[in-house]
Amino acid sequence: GDSVTQMEGPVTLSEEAFLTINCTYTATGYPSLFWYVQYPGEGLQLLLKATKADDKGSNKGFEATYRKETTSFHLEKGSVQVSDSAVYFCALRGPNDYKLSFGAGTTVTVRA
């Protein structure tokens, strides 16, 4: 079945450092890919998405490019802030699926 493999954490960074979280997927057909963020004590928020190969999703300084040749959707941000401390989930949705399949989540802590 469809699955997502995500870089394990936790990741600890200093403010203004570069962040990258690796995500690869296994899927039949052409899934849609997502990054969700979960701040402490809160629900999941959609950070960005891409629905076809070579699409680049971007939001709040975060970017991820749908790479079909490497089945990847790595998340990047050039300069993180303390407020970016959260758990980040990579997820996919198959072309005929209702559900989202999530990766294990990566906890990111940014220190001032």
Phi–psi pair at 88, nearest 5 degrees: -115, 130
- DSSP 3-state helix, strand, coil percentages of the chain (rounded to 5)? 5, 50, 45
Chosen residue from 15, 20, 95, 111 binding other proteins by CB under 8 A: 95
Residue among 17 and 55 whose Cβ is closer to other proteins: 55
CA distance 50 to 33: 5
Residue among 56 and 99 whose Cβ is closer to other proteins: 99
Chosen residue from 21, 25, 103, 110 binding other proteins by CB under 8 A: 103
* Entry field: residues in the chain: 112
Q: Which residues, 15 to 74, sit near other proteins by CB under 8 A?
A: 32, 36, 42-46, 49, 51
Q: Which residues bind other proteins (CB under 8 A)?
A: 32, 36, 42-46, 49, 51, 89, 93-105
